Structure 1
Amino acid sequence: MNKRHHMAFASALLLTSTALTSTALAATQKDTLVIQQAATITTLDPALAYDTFSLQMIENIYETLWTHRGGSLTQMTPLLASKLPTYTNGGRTLVVTLRKGVKFHSGNTMTCADAEYTYRRNLVTNNADSANWFIAESLLGTSENASKDKGVTWARIANAVKCNAQGQLVFTLPKPDPAFMAKMTFAGQGVIDKAWAVKQGEWDGREATWKSWAGKDLSGGKLAGSASGTGAYRLLRRDADNVMLVAHTAYWGGVPAIRNVVMQKVGELAVRQQAFLRGDADLIEAGTRSNVDAQLRGKSGVVVLDNLPTTRAQGIFMNNNIKSAPALGSGKLDGKGIPANFFSDPNVRKAFAYAFDYERFNNDVLRGKGTVRTMMLPDSFPGYSAGTKTYTYDPVKATEFFKKAWGGQVWQNGFVVNANYRTGHILGQVALELLKQNVEALNPKFRININVEPWSEQSVKFQRSEEVMIPMGWGADYADPDNFVTTFYSSSGFFYPTNNWKDANVDRWVQQAKETTDQATRNRLYKQVADAAFDQSPFIIFPEDTNVRPIRSNLKGATAANFNPMRSFTFTGTFIRELSKK
């Protein structure tokens, strides 16, 4: 982009930024991609990002060492590495040769010192809001930072990630981890610009200062709102509702055809759909399959990519230890609220699971294309337990378990449950409405209040155990079953504060599966986890369909063949740099 064009585009964005929440850049230009979604971008710091909406920008601003090749979940291709490394030292060491001449958006040249700083910073900060726990597990043998685990020392961090005399990056693991290379494809492991970051006031990378950054909250840091990566796009502007990127003209892979990217927060689905149909938006968060079929499929200028692979699991969480008094109503089993431990009785959880109409959800929301899941793990992943029992809609059994719950008090006194879904989460909203209808039909003393809240609020509340009941999903961070099984079922997993369900046997089986490379053993352990979870019903597991993605017909580079569900943040399963317009 020449200077004049760049300045004109920037001026247009500045003038229209206040209106972008309701209208897009009319008739989007050939070199401009407009994306509309329901939620805001919470951070641009790779060390902090752990939500889809932030990662979809980060993966285009920053780059990892390698990534998945095309649509494959097992084959990889180098990015900032010049070639794919191989394990040595009994599977404990990876020596990575980096590309030469790669430029950051600041103009600085990337060196091994930048990569070393990036991964050490991730291990040092590794706070509860980040995804760095699974990298720390691989490199340090613990998911915790130094403020929580005193065994985490500077020596361990420095020895785990270091540059050798040849300028190569060396990873040294305490024990073999066959999932490590897959973990390193996660967008939050993108290499950052050390000199630029330090100048912004971030950690300086020295041993003398590392302890004060251990587990530090990065949400107020400069990198949360500004960026200098090596990716094909650099940040032009970010405000409360919009992120604007422009092509990185010194990008090592060549300047992309799409020069300008506008990400807009547009809360109303109908508004997003109309902008998409007019051609004012090129990609949108399009809602459920039924929304796509009813409003977009077959319309002029629209192509629907269907039956795409998925690596997600979704369900309704029921919190066993609610830490928010206002959310509890009366706080008692008196028909006016619930106690904080209401869902700790498995009879309550089973009753709710039997009250959910899985077949209707499949037909109404997934257009009959869904598959009932036995566990919170994609059925395309190894370790999925196809032989585990599943819940079905059964109001007789639901009534039976409600009458057993809390010694009969639930049925006798009734309850009020406050359930929330995030803004724009149509699937979650419909699921709660179906559950509400069925549960309230069983007993006039039962009541479920459904409320909507912004993602920025909900993402904080569920990690503080303040949500009562919420629909929530998980997209794979890396292509290994442990990413789901630990996340959902382990008391050390990311979602543990969301439902506070714990089982000692399940914790042990999950850990054993994590430490073996024998797939048959892992499969057996995961079946035990799934069977135990069926008996206790910690979640109401949604049926899952294949992915469906509507795109504008003039958008090239997005196909079913190259759609990678591990890289679906831009709604196309590709990097934005791979796209162009006719």
Structure 2
Amino acid sequence: MKKLALLSTLLLAGAAFAAAPKDTLVVQQAADTPTLDPGATYDTASSQIVENIYETLLTYKGSSLRDLEPLLATKWTISNGGKTYTFDLRKNVKFHSGNPFTCRDAEYTFERNLVTNAAESGNWFLADSLLGVGANANDDKSITWARIDKAVECNSKGQLVFTLPKPDPAFLAKLAYTGQGIVDSKHAIGLGEWKGTEADWKNWVGKDLQGSKLSASPSGTGAYRLVRKDANAILAQAFDGYWGKKPAIKNVIIQKVPELAARQQAFLRGDADLIEPGSRANIEEQLKGKPGVVVVDDLPNTSAYAIFMNENIKDAGRLGSGKLDGQGIPANFFSDVNVRRGFSYAFNYAQYISDVQKGKGKQLTMLLPSSFPGYDAKVKTYKYDPAQAKAYFQRAWGGNVWKNGFTLNVAYRAGSVSSQTAMEILKRNVEALNPKFRVNIQAKEWSAMLNDSKAGKEPMILIGWAPDYADPDNFMYTFYSSNGYYYPRSNWKDASVDKWLEQARTTTNQAERNRLYSLVGQRAYEQAPFILVPAGVGVNVQRNNLVGATAQTYNPMVGFSYTGTNWKDLSKK
């Protein structure tokens, strides 16, 4: 305990070690940790802590994105045409509070997530599966306590039973999401959280749990328990009562260090074992080849980025004259497929890979990571082709785009070199086609861009998506469906695409789902609603005495993004 007290003192004082002790993992990152409540976890910084304190029913097997294995469950069966899931639960498991893990804790956890389901949490996709709608009871009055209570129950055998209104082939992957970590119900209720009954459920509907009492005092079944937390650091310790294999790393310290140079210096000294290292260029210029440094490269990509072309721009202030007279654009400028194709051919994908990704990039055929099931490498892609771009611009709007020209006002994320470079490439190539073409670009704060794009105000925006769960629906529906999360940013709608995506959501036949996603990808190529930005190749750095984190063990769905593995699987030599 004396050593733990010393670590805690050093941690909260912001002090550095001469070298990180062998039984202690020191991580430095730029961001703080918004929450330690699983019900509010919807960001990487929180996920990488929460997944080590809490555990889900099942998890990803090794580095696979397709295979799942039991964690707090021991097995499961699927019946009733894919609408009923029954889980046997692990015995002799304790929470950090000392309370035993029971089926009631699992039931409480999922009901709590369905009841609260705040706007900025990841519970919308759980609600979509179990209630048939992603909203909470405040936003959808058809949601009742009876529906929530029926969706997840414990039977007389102590098994956890989920009842879905319709089959969902992505349901198991959703249960592996960090935010579905099982909560200690007695501990939570004792803190003053929801009581788990109908009596007070309405008081918790839509409630933001980010700053909950459970966030300040978590109790999970994970291999690590929280010791201390302040605005700049977290100290976790291996849980003596853990049901699984005892971790080699006893203490984990997460420090907030906003300055990249300071993180890199601490890493090179050995004060930190893992850091948020910055871009590939930062790694190659500042860290690669230095003593004690291991670069883990060629990691799988699990994100997709695109430049959205908004077909219904809802901000007159961004339209200039509002006409095709060379001084502006109409609100529906991008509704002409020839305009969208012209821009798609004007983007230099190879240059972006060279300038931004240092040659370590890959052009995607669809807005789905190539490592995911459902990805079709045979779907056609756009290439930089000024002649094709010119031909389509000449056809656009009956020839008026080429004849009169246009002025397009777009923004990029302030401080993002990659976003700025992408927009500069597009601006330069489009303006080179016709002296009457003008693309004005300017930096804009990300929070403002997000809000404005969600309201349909941004003519263009470069934005991406990282997965909540390893299923193609999480990307394909999000980007391409007119009911998807990103629809207001593009206002692109295709009846066939919507039909195919809805069909893919309810069939459990993976081959049929793959066929439907290929149809969506090909249709999107033809209609060009997005400019597909090349995907980067993942790269991490770590100290050479860290064991257990390799390219072969890396799983991008594991929240601890610096290693792609959990703390309990790491050791130091």
For normalisation by structure 2, the TM-score amounts to 0.88
Which of 286, 293, 301 matches 1:295? 286
CA distance in structure 2 between the partners assigned to 1:410 and 1:244 by the alignment:
61
- 8 Å Cα contact 1:50-1:188 kept in structure 2: yes
Q: CA deviation at 1:290?
A: 4.0
CA distance in structure 1 between the partners assigned to 2:449 and 2:24 by the alignment:
32
SS in 1 for 2:225: strand
What code does the residue aligned with 2:66 have?
Answer: T
Q: CA deviation at 1:577?
A: 1.7
Q: Does 1:484 align with 2:475?
A: yes
SS in 2 for 1:157: helix
Q: Does 1:387 align with 2:378?
A: yes
Aligned to 2:56: 64
Q: CA deviation at 1:162?
A: 0.8
Aligned to 1:538: 529
CA distance in structure 1 between the partners assigned to 2:403 and 2:316 by the alignment:
23
1:439-476: CA deviation from partner (whole Å, max 9, x where unpaired): 4545476244342646x776666555565544333233
What code does the residue aligned with 1:360 have?
Answer: Q
Aligned to 2:8: 10
Aligned to 2:512: 521
Q: CA deviation at 1:347?
A: 4.3
1:557-576 alignment, distance < 5 Å: 557-567=548-558, 569-576=560-567
Q: CA deviation at 1:516?
A: 1.5
1:124-523 alignment, distance < 5 Å: 124-223=115-214, 226-321=217-312, 328=318, 332=322, 343-402=334-393, 408=400, 412=404, 414-421=406-413, 426-442=417-433, 443=435, 446-451=438-443, 453=445, 463=454, 465=456, 469-523=460-514
Q: Relative to 1, partners in 2 of residues 1:164 and 1:316: Cα closer, same or farther, differing over 3 Å?
A: same
- 8 Å Cα contact 2:28-2:257 kept in structure 1: yes
Q: Relative to 1, partners in 2 of residues 1:5 and 1:344: Cα closer, same or farther, differing over 3 Å?
A: farther
SS in 2 for 1:473: strand
What is the count of residue pairs matched by the alignment? 570
Aligned to 1:31: 23
CA distance in structure 1 between the partners assigned to 2:567 and 2:414 by the alignment:
26
- 8 Å Cα contact 2:36-2:210 kept in structure 1: no
More moved, 548-557 vs 244-253: 244-253
- 8 Å Cα contact 1:440-1:448 kept in structure 2: no
Q: Relative to 1, partners in 2 of residues 1:220 and 1:11: Cα closer, same or farther, differing over 3 Å?
A: closer
Which residues of structure 2 form unaligned runs of 5+? Answer: none
CA distance in structure 2 between the partners assigned to 1:323 and 1:229 by the alignment:
46
SS in 2 for 1:94: strand
Q: Relative to 1, partners in 2 of residues 1:229 and 1:538: Cα closer, same or farther, differing over 3 Å?
A: farther
CA distance in structure 2 between the partners assigned to 1:143 and 1:537 by the alignment:
28
- 8 Å Cα contact 2:409-2:440 kept in structure 1: yes
More moved, 434-443 vs 308-317: 434-443
- 8 Å Cα contact 2:18-2:271 kept in structure 1: yes
CA distance in structure 2 between the partners assigned to 1:468 and 1:245 by the alignment:
45
Q: Relative to 1, partners in 2 of residues 1:56 and 1:422: Cα closer, same or farther, differing over 3 Å?
A: farther
Q: CA deviation at 1:487?
A: 1.6
What code does the residue aligned with 1:43 have?
Answer: T
Q: CA deviation at 1:9?
A: 1.7
- 8 Å Cα contact 2:507-2:513 kept in structure 1: yes
Q: Relative to 1, partners in 2 of residues 1:395 and 1:57: Cα closer, same or farther, differing over 3 Å?
A: farther
- 8 Å Cα contact 1:384-1:523 kept in structure 2: yes
Q: CA deviation at 1:134?
A: 2.2
Which residues of structure 1 form unaligned runs of 5+? Answer: 18-23
What code does the residue aligned with 2:12 have?
Answer: L
Aligned-pair identity (%): 55
CA distance in structure 1 between the partners assigned to 2:23 and 2:451 by the alignment:
36
SS in 1 for 2:243: coil
Q: CA deviation at 1:529?
A: 1.1
Which of 537, 540, 543 matches 1:549? 540
CA distance in structure 2 between the partners assigned to 1:95 and 1:290 by the alignment:
48
For normalisation by structure 1, the TM-score amounts to 0.87
1:341-384: CA deviation from partner (whole Å, max 9, x where unpaired): 55445444333322221111223333434332110012233322
- 8 Å Cα contact 1:91-1:177 kept in structure 2: yes
Q: Relative to 1, partners in 2 of residues 1:518 and 1:79: Cα closer, same or farther, differing over 3 Å?
A: closer
Q: Relative to 1, partners in 2 of residues 1:15 and 1:530: Cα closer, same or farther, differing over 3 Å?
A: same
What code does the residue aligned with 1:250 have?
Answer: G
Aligned to 1:51: 43
Q: CA deviation at 1:438?
A: 3.2
What code does the residue aligned with 1:578 have?
Answer: D
- 8 Å Cα contact 2:316-2:322 kept in structure 1: no
CA distance in structure 2 between the partners assigned to 1:39 and 1:500 by the alignment:
33
